[in-house]
Amino acid sequence: MMDYLRVYEEWCNDPYFDPDTRRELKGLRDNPKEIEDRFYRNLEFGTGGLRGVLGAGTNRMNVYTVRLATQGLANYILRQNGQKKGVVIAHDSRRMSPEFSREAALCLNANGIRTYLFESLRPTPELSFAVRQLGCIAGICVTASHNPREYNGYKVYWEDGAQITPPHDRNILAEVAQVQSFSQVKIIDESDARVSGLFRVIGTDFDDLYLNEVRRQSVRNQGAEGRNCELQSGRSPYSEERSCSGGCCDRSAVIAEHAIPFADEVRIVYTPLHGAGCVPVRRLLSSLGFSKVYVVGEQKDPDGDFPTVSYPNPEDDGAWELALQLAQKWMRTLSWRQTRTRIASACG
C-alpha cells in the first residue's frame, strides 16, 4: 500500500494541481476513510483502459490520472514508431468527458504524436471507424459505458479499430506502470499544439462519411457498390475543411438510393438514454426512409447525470420505462433498445 497520507498532502499543497482540486481535497481532512480510499493506490489501468469514480486523488478519474495513463500510452506508441500515424479521440456525454479528451490529446501532442479530436460527443463505433479510416495507430474513447453516473473511463483501441488485445494490452499496461511521477508527464499548450499541426479537430463532414459506410452494411445493400465517395476512398487526407463533392453524402440523394421498401409504414420508438446516439441514429433512420421515429423526449439530450434513470444500463429493465410508455401509444411499434448507435457495429 502506498503512503497515502504523504501523497494526499502533496496533492493538497503542490501548485501543479489546480486550485479546485486542492480545495476539494482539503475539505476531506475530517474524513480519513475517504482520504484513504482516494489515495491508497493508483487508479488501475486494466486490459481495456481506465475506469473509476470521478474526483480528486490517485484512485479517481481526473485530468491528472488521465495524463499519467496517456503518457504511458504515448511511450508505447513512440516505441512502435507510430507517432506520425496519430491517435483519434472521441468522448461520450459523461461528466468531464470533453476535458479528459482534450487532456489526452495535448499529452500525446507534447510527445510529438498527432491527434484527431472529435469536435463534440460521438458514438463509440464512429471512433472505431475513424481509427481505420484515418490510418491511425490507436484510438481513445472517453466513456464508462453503462457504469453508474459517478464514473467515467478511458478505453484504448488499436489500429484495427478494436479494443487493445495481446500483446499490445500487456505492453501498454507495462508502459503505464512505469509512469510513477507527474514529472514524467509531458504537456503542451493547445495553441502551440495547433500551430505545430499536431492537434486536429474532426468535424461533421466525417459523420457523413461514417453514416454512408453504415448504410453500406445494410442487408439490403450487401453486394451493391454504391456511390464512389472521395472521402471513403481516402484520396484526400483528412482535414477540417475536407468535404465530399461526389454527391454520395447528399442527404436527398442518399434517401433515394438507400430507402427501404415500406420503411415509412414502420413506427419506431427510440431512446438514446442521454447518450451520444440521438443525432446519428435519427439521421441514419431518416436516410433509410423511416419517417415515423418517436424519440423519448425526456431522454433525447446528452446528460452525464442521467437524470431519468437510476442506472444507465440497457440491460436494466428500469432504463426502458419511458420508452415502453411511449411505445404503448402506438400499435405494431418497434422499441429499439440501445444507448448509442449499435446499428453501426457491423462496421466494427
Could you tell me the three cell numbers for 20? 479546485
CB-CB contact of 111 with 188 (8 Å): no
SS3 of 148, please? coil
- CA distances (Å), origin 146, targets 63, 282, 313: 21, 22, 5
Q: Which runs of E-coded beta strand occur in the chain? A: 49-53, 87-91, 115-118, 138-142, 151-158, 199-202, 267-271, 292-295, 333-337
Q: Give the integer Cα–Cα distance in Å for 52 and 44.
A: 9
Query: Are β-strands 87-91 and 115-118 bridged in parallel, bridged antiparallel, or unpaired?
Result: parallel
| CB within 8 Å of 332: residues ≥ 6 apart | 267
Ordered per-residue pLDDT tens for the chain, 348 residues: 569 999 999 999 999 999 999 999 999 999 999 999 999 999 998 877 899 999 999 999 999 999 999 999 999 999 999 999 999 999 999 999 999 999 999 999 999 999 999 999 999 999 999 999 999 999 999 999 888 999 999 999 999 999 999 999 999 999 999 999 999 999 999 999 999 999 999 999 999 999 999 988 877 655 444 444 444 444 333 433 333 444 444 444 444 456 677 888 888 899 999 999 999 999 999 988 999 999 999 999 999 999 999 888 888 899 999 999 998 876 444 444 443 333 333 323
CB-CB contact of 89 with 142 (8 Å): yes
Q: Give the integer Cα–Cα distance in Å for 271 and 340.
A: 9
Q: Give the integer Cα–Cα distance in Å for 46 and 308.
A: 30
Residue 9, class by beta-carbon neighbours within 10 Å (0-12 exposed, 13-18 middle, 19+ buried)?
Answer: middle
- The C-alpha cell 456511390 sits at 227
Q: Edge-to-edge strand order for the sheet containing 87-91?
A: 49-53, 151-158, 138-142, 87-91, 115-118, 199-202
Q: Give the integer Cα–Cα distance in Å for 171 and 78.
A: 12
Q: Which residues are catalytic?
A: 145
Task: Give long-range contacts, CB 8 A cutoff, 24+ apart: 336-339.
Answer: 336/268, 336/269, 336/270, 337/271, 338/270, 338/277, 338/281, 338/314, 339/146, 339/272, 339/273, 339/275, 339/277, 339/312, 339/314
